[in-house]
Structure formats: structure tokens, C-alpha cells
Structure 1
Amino acid sequence: MPEQDVAEVVQRYLDHLVVERGAAANTVSSYRRDLERYRDFLAGRRLAALRDVDEAAVRDFLVQLRKGDPDAGQPALADSSVARTLVAVRGLHKFAAAEGLVDTDVAHAVRPPKPARRLPKALPVDEVLAILEAAGAADHPRALRDRALLELLYSCGARISEVTGLDVDDLDLEDRSVVLRGKGGKDRIVPIGRPAVAAVDAYLVRGRPSLAKKGGPALFLNARGGRLSRQSAWQVLVDAAERAGIDKDVSPHTLRHSFATHLLDGGADVRVVQELLGHSSVTTTQVYTLVTVNTMREVYATAHPRAR
């Protein structure tokens, strides 16, 4: 079989997608754009046939996608777009190998770039305090419940499901601790700060009895006397943040992130924070140290006489 250039193989592959695979028109159009960019890249390397392409060339193509090519008017692509383009390129090479157009599939071992690690978003201490104050601004049973709920979330870094799943007997206010039931059925005992203890005690004395219209062990109750749902607890936080004038996306996990970050900023050992959060591996917790490193850099840059 005479050797075919890259453009011819690309067209054969696209025809294969339509005829043999029944690919949708949008999919074929997307593949065509991605493979035309790949073809142009190879042409710039003077690689006229797929037989001339090796694994290094495929990897170099991914690098260019991430950097962009200003001379060609091509912006840098996000990792998700690079991964999508790689699917098309790998499909092309796999097809060429299956058809006997090349000896080996040189793109088989090439993997897409790992997405950038997203750092947790933590609120400054003053914004957390503002949210807590806003939650308990009124003096009625639900306000007492909401303040106690958010105080607990922040005080012990609990997941929302762990707090809404609490029963009254899980608390030991005298010992200032609570039993949290984490993922995989793993229980842990976590200390509670004095403000959270005070808020929970106020709720138990002046709030919960008014909400407890039916028997049950649940600590946090809804207006009908049943266990407060995760969705309702989430809304409690959103409403409190809005009343506090916090113009950010805030979720229960935001308080968990803030708990961990504030502890580490205060000098807590990462392994202690790991235990408090209920992480099975310290590696999971160490993502929070990336946040505090940024804080340390800022302090260093402004305070050290030889920082600049």
C-alpha cells in the first residue's frame, strides 16, 4: 500500500467515524478541528506521514497546545481542551495502526495533563465570625438552631452530613467534645470550642424543645420536628452569609476549609488537623498547607528586609 500523507489518513479516520462508528456531526466536526491543528503541527516539523511520527512528537504537540502559538493566532488551551484534543489524536494513531498504515501506535502511552489542583477556598476569620453572628441575630428557636449548627461546623471542621447526622447523645458539652461519624463508618471524637458549646447549649435549652414536635434523637430539627436535611442546613449557611454581606460562593465545605486553614495558620501540626478532619491520609490534608504557604510568602515579602 502506498504511503499516505497525514491529511489523507485524517480524512480516512473521519470517514471511519461517520460510517463505521456512527459518530454525531458535532463530534466529527470537533475531531476535524483538533486533527487539522495536529496536521499543521506535524507539517511544521516536516513530518509528512504518520510513519515519521514518534511518541515524542505527540508529547511536544500537547506542550504546544498548553503554551499556545501566538504566531499562528492559536491561544493556549485549558487542560480539559488539551485532553479532548488528545482523544482525537490517539484515535487517529490507533486507527492507523489497526489499518496497517503504521507499524505501531505511538500515541498509545501518551496521557492527558493532570488538571491543576484546585486549592480550597477559605474565608478570613472576620468573615466567618460575621456569618456566625448573622445566623443567630434573632432570638427564636430556628435562629438558635442555625447559630448552633454553623458554630459546630466551623468549630470542629465537620462535614455537613456529619453534623446533620448528629444525635443529642453524641454531644458531651461538659467535656466539650462530639462524636462525628465520618466516611466508611469511621467515628472520631473532636473537641468543641467554648462559643460552639454555648451556642449548642442555648439551642438545647431554648430552641430544640419548641421544634421537637415528635420524639427522636436528632440534634438539629426542622420546623416539623424531623431531622434537618443536608439541603436545609446548606441553605441556613447561604442565608446567613447573605445577611452578613458576604458576596462569595459559600458552602458548608467552605467552613470546613476555613477550619483547617485557620488551624494551620495558627501553627497546628498537619497530622493533628488530619485527625480532626477525619482524613485517612495526611496527603489529603496537605492541600491546605499550600494555602498557608501563600500566606507565608506574603508575610515574608512584606516583612523581611532582604525579601526583594
Structure 2
Amino acid sequence: MPFKPFTDYLLLEKNYSALTVKAYLNDLVRFSEFVKSEYDTDDVSQVNYLQIRSWIVLLVESGIANRSINRKVSALNTYYKFLLKVGDININPLAKHKALKTSKKIQVPFSEKEIASVLDDAKFKDSFEGVRDKLIIELFYSTGIRRIELVELKLTSFNIHNKTLKVLGKRNKERIVPLLHAVSTTLEAYLKKREDLPSISDEEILFLTKKGVKIYETLVYRIINDYFSLASSKVKKSPHILRHSFATHLLNQGADLNAVKELLGHSSLAATQIYTHNSISELKKVHVNTHPRSKK
């Protein structure tokens, strides 16, 4: 494997998740194929910025979003920094590269009414899949976990006695998230349904398909999209929007920004602050309705 030292560096030194490492390697392989095809070289370490630039132009012309291109270039830049660190190159060809401009997307969270409509009024079937789907939605909204974090949950991730959930986040950073009583109740119901499955291949994994194998990310997306299509007209209906809703609703109710940061598993407050724009509108309403001089 040509990139094994780099893979070990990402996993062991940088502590990146296996999913992130897989994405980085995929970008490197695609770039390697490009330079082999265009410049007839197998040595990615010896390319120059103009050659990299021609790859970026190709990606742009292919219609790939600037945000995705920046991520691919970032993976390549990390690789060159690694080569620089171990002494395989003297100059990082991407040292002076400027990221492509991206438009800031405003993610519109679900309203409390829309979420209540799904959790309180949706007709979840009393079956393995019905109870599983309800638990997935409750977990997203009550803990704010990421989709990949949910997929990777194990039976041992839950402490039923303490009503807590152990989540393995980005860079393998662990965090403990409290569970609401209603979620614990649904969890117990799901575990009983899970025990009745005819066969289970992935014994340690919490969320399974009805065939007893580990649930996958596209299925999780489809579950959220299907249920919220019944209650919301928003264009984007995804697990991330539920995570966004979790953070926004907590902040609207006066939760401390640092506390929300810890619950979300963010490494910095800057990442959490993107959720505050919705809360500002709520604060303005409170300010106007309650300040003594607002009517003057």
C-alpha cells in the first residue's frame, strides 16, 4: 500500500477516525490516477503546484462544489505536510494555495412543532423497524449526535442505570451525553425487539437492519427524510438538520453555549456558533417584548 506510512500517521498521530482516513486516501488515489494519466508519473510527491492546479480546474469543470474541492485539496495538503515532516520533500507545493470561495449555507432547523408532529403524532409501527426508527429520531433530537456516530453505536455505549450515552466522535474523542427518560424507555423497547430477530450478524452493534446486520448511513438518512416529509415542507430533511435543531432549540431555551459545544462534540466554540443565528431572532423577540423602553 503506497500510502501506508501516511495512513498510520493519520490514525496514530493525528488520531483521525477510520472514516476520515478512508476519505483522505480516496482523494489521494484519485489524484494519483490524474497525474498518472495527465503527466505520466507515479510519484505524487514530485508534482508541482501548476499540475495540482490543473487537477483543481478539472474538478471545477466537472461541476463538483467548491466546498468538496476544498476538502479534497485539504487532504492533499495534509499529505504534503506529512512528507515535509518526514523529510521526503523540501517544499509543500500547496503552501501558498488559497481555498476556493464557498457560499455559506444557512441550514434551516425543524421547528419544535414539526418535531413534535413526528415524535408525538407519527404512527410508528409496533415492529422492530418501527421502534428502531422512533429511537433513531429521538436520539438525534435529544443528543445531537452525528449520523456516523449513531451508526457506530454499540450495545455497550449505553448506561441504562445512569441514563447516559458514550459517543465516539471525530478524532476518536469520547464524550458522555445524558439521555432523556423517554429515550431510555424507547431504547428498552427496541432492545426487546432486537432480541427477537431471527439472526444477528453484528452482535455488538446497536442499530441493525431487520436482517440483523449493521445499519448503514444512507438508510439512516432515508428514515429521517421519510418521517419528516410527513411533517415538514423544508427542502432539506436529514440527520444533520435534526442535530442542527437540537442545538438551536437548546440555545433558544437559554442553554449555555459551552454546554451545547460539549454535547455536540465540537472542538471549538466557533463550530458551535454557527447555530446561534436562529437563537438571535428569539433573543430579539424577548428583548423587544420585555425591555422597559422597547415601547417608547
Compute the TM-score of the two structures, normalised by the length of structure 2.
Answer: 0.61
Answering whether residue 202 of structure 2 is matched by residue 208 of structure 1, we say no
Indicate whether 1:199 and 2:191 are aligned: no
Given residue 279 of structure 1, which amino acid in structure 2 is its aligned partner?
H
- 2:147 is aligned to 160
Cα deviations across residues 5-36 of structure 1 (Å, max 9, x unaligned)? Answer: xxxxxxxxxxxxxxxxxxxxxx9xxxxxxxxx
**Equivalent of 1:280, from 264, 267, 277?**
267
1:250 is matched with 237
Which region of structure 1 is more displaced relative to structure 2, 124-133 or 260-269? 124-133
SS at the partner of 2:219?
Answer: helix
Asked whether the 8 Å contact 1:132–1:240 carries over to 2, the reply is no
Could you tell me how far 1:134 is from its partner in structure 2? Answer: 5.4
Matched, 1:169 2:163: no
Q: CA RMSD in A?
A: 2.5
Partner of 2:221: 234
Q: Give the 3 Å change call, closer, same or farther, for CA 141–303 of structure 1 in structure 2.
A: same
Identity %: 33
> Aligned to 2:173, which of 165, 186, 195?
186
Is contact 1:211–1:221 with CA below 8 Å preserved after alignment? no
Amino acid at match of 1:284: A
Q: How many residues align?
A: 199
How far does residue 276 in structure 1 lie from its aligned partner after superposition?
0.6
Distance, in Å, in 2 between the alignment partners of 1:212 and 1:291 is: 46
Q: Could you tell me which residue of structure 1 aligns to residue 247 of structure 2?
A: 260
The 1-side partners of 2:121 and 2:141 are apart by 14
Structure 1, unmatched stretches of 5+, are 1-26, 28-79, 81-110
Instruction: Quote the offset at 1:212 in angstroms.
Output: 5.8
In the TM superposition, residue 132 of structure 1 has moved relative to its aligned partner by 2.3
Q: Which has the larger radius of gyration?
A: 1
Q: Provide closer, same or farther for how the CA distance between residues 272 and 192 of structure 1 changes in structure 2, counting only shifts above 3 A.
A: same
Counterpart amino acid of 2:166? V
Task: Map Cα deviations across residues 112-138 of structure 1 (whole Å, 9 max, x no partner).
Answer: 996554333211112112222456522
SS at match of 2:196: helix
Q: Superposed, which structure 2 residues align to 1:18-167 within 5 Å?
A: 117-133=104-120, 137-167=124-154
Q: In the TM superposition, what whole-angstrom CA distance separates every residue of 1:240-276 from its partner, at most 9, and x where no partner exists? A: 1123x32212100011001111111111111111111
| Contact 1:136–1:147 (CA under 8 A) maintained in structure 2 | no
1: CA distance, partners of 2:118 / 2:208: 20
> Structure 1 length normalisation: TM-score?
0.59
Unaligned runs of 5+ in 2: 1-56, 58-65, 67-97
**Helix, strand or coil: the match of 2:177?**
strand
Partner Cα separation in structure 1 for residue 276 and residue 282 of structure 2:
10
Distance, in Å, in 1 between the alignment partners of 2:150 and 2:259 is 20
Going from structure 1 to structure 2, the CA distance change for 1:135 and 1:147 (only over 3 Å counts) comes to farther
Task: State the one-letter code of the partner of 1:162.
Answer: E
What amino acid is the match of 2:196? S
Structure 1's 171 and 113: CA in aligned 2 closer, same or farther, altered over 3 A? closer
Which range is displaced more, 259-268 or 212-221? 212-221
Structure 1 residues 220 and 136, CA, compared in 2 at 3 Å: closer, same or farther?
Answer: farther
1:165, distance to aligned residue in structure 2 (A): 0.7
Tell me which amino acid in the other structure corresponds to 2:221. W
* Post-superposition offset of 1:210: 2.9
Q: Over residues 202-260 of structure 1, what are the superposed CA-to-partner deviations in whole Å (9 max), with x where a residue is unaligned?
A: 1112x2123361241111110211011011011111111123x3221210001100111
- Preserved contact between residue 135 and residue 146 of structure 1 (Cα < 8 Å): no
Offset at residue 201 of structure 1 (A): 1.1
